[in-house]
Amino acid sequence: MREIRLAARPDGWPTDDTFEIADVPMPTAGPGQVLIRNVFMSVDPYMRGRMNDAKSYVPPFQLGAPLEGGAVGEVVASESPDVPVGAFVVHGLGWREYSVTEAARVRVVDPAAADLSAYLGVLGLTGFTAYVGLLDIAQFKPGETVFVSGAAGAVGSVVGQVAKLRGAKRVIGSAGSAEKVSHLVDDLGFDAAFNYRDSPVRKQLRQAAPDGIDVYFDNVGGDHLEAAIGSLTKYGRVAMCGAVGAYNETSAPAAPRNLALAIGKELNLRGFIVSNHNRRMPDFLAEVGPWVREGRLQARETIVDGLENAPAAFIGLLRGENTGKMLVRLS
């Protein structure tokens, strides 16, 4: 079987040389473990941070060791009475064709209730991130105006749609292409959207939200965060989810330069790590699950086939080649 390893730590943008693909013996399940044939792997921006040898909330990837990430697959051998052969499970040891892990560390999912891929996207950690960030961290309330960056991505697209379904007055999204902007307005029901590459975010946000915004869901950081701080109304809230605009930068970001506005406006800027909010998972599934099943919440996916193409999928994600959730499908 094959696995993708970290071959070199990137300085700036990852390249093909960052990764190597290796043939390794098929692993076997020990006591309490399961062997999983992976079907889909999640491709996530936070993996870029783990490629640096830096202290963070998750340990860095090790050189020469396989990468790790969310995956969903079928149990093909089991040494645990809790998770039988034939079960489909979500786990955290992707980036390889087969994974062995403790049965206690997998979550069994129902392939009849939703597409398997959805358990990594809209019904998985990315959808959950949107839910927790918008409702718990930013404390969104009906009637408010919301701005979300990275809006055509996996998390951002769910943020905007949940805000609409929960009674937002106005939802504005930013994304990196004209096609994505049309997708947000025409398919996902955003009230307004703009391409951040066209002209300064600050100007475009002011035009889209002349009365200001109450909530900013930040996936990008930098100029987007600066623009949002400028447009936030008194007592506005920011869910600091990610800063994908800076993940490949080698120097500190130049923005936001206007952070002191947070004092007079009495803003609340709050970061979060979704895995620390798992107690909210049942509420998320109970509310968002039916919206997905009824087609009221759409979840576009960008699927790349083959383990060998996972590095290109990852680099493509950071370049914005995905709409919705970026996934790798294994044969």
Residues at the contact surface with ligand NDP, assessed by CB under 6 A: 44-46, 126, 129, 150, 152-156, 175-177, 180, 196, 219-220, 241-242, 244-245, 272-274, 317-318, 320, 322, 326
CB of residue 260 vs ligand NDP: minimum separation in angstroms? 24
Closest distance between ligand NDP and the C-beta of residue 267, in Å? 19
Nearest to ligand NDP of 64, 200 (CB atom): 200
DSSP symbol at 63: T
At closest approach, how far in Å is the CB of 316 from ligand NDP? 9
User: Which has the closest alpha carbon to 180: 202, 156, 206?
Assistant: 156
Nearer to ligand NDP, 88 or 247 (CB): 247
- The residue among 96 and 300 lying less far from ligand NDP, judged by its C-beta, is 300
DSSP string, 252-320: -------TTHHHHTT-EEEE--GGGGGGGHHHHHHHHHHHHHTTSS---EEEEESGGGHHHHHHHHHHT
Which C-beta is closer to ligand NDP: that of 98 or that of 128? 128
Nearer to ligand NDP, 33 or 157 (CB): 157
| CB of residue 87 to ligand NDP, shortest distance in Å | 25
Q: How far is the CB of 125 from ligand NDP (least distance, A)?
A: 6
What does the DSSP assignment read for 189-209? Answer: --SEEEETTTS-HHHHHHHH-
Query: What is the C-alpha separation between 223 and 261, in angstroms, rounded?
Result: 15
Vertex 191 angle, CA 188 and 193, to 5°? 80
